[in-house]
Amino acid sequence: MDSDLRQRLLDEGWEERFSASGKRLEEAAEYYRSLGYDVRIEGLVDVVSDATCTRCFSVPGSDGPTGVLFTRAAASPPFEEDDLFAE
């Protein structure tokens, strides 16, 4: 993910949460969705074009591609407040 895309997402109201891979990334995405967030996953920063630390993303044995998880408040909540007290 290049810095222009990152900045555009931040400008659009997305919040960068963290980087993860495989099952952990999917679990986190599902968790944020269950809390009512919109979720977006972008590919990892290009190691060649970015000088930030990326050693841990090339560790053998990861269970899938590494991505950066972004969230933002959903346009519509997953439930209405009245649903919490339904009989």
pLDDT tens digits for range 35-52: 999 999 998 754 444 556
Q: Per residue in 47-69, pLDDT tens? A: 444 556 655 555 565 667 788 99
pLDDT tens for 6-40 read 999 999 999 999 988 889 999 999 999 999 999 99
How many angstroms separate the CA atoms of 38 and 47, rounded?
A: 27
- The reported pTM is 0.69
- The CA R_g of the chain, rounded to the nearest whole Å, is 16
Name the residue among 73, 3, 63 with its Cα closest to residue 40. Answer: 73
Domain residue spans of the chain: 3-74
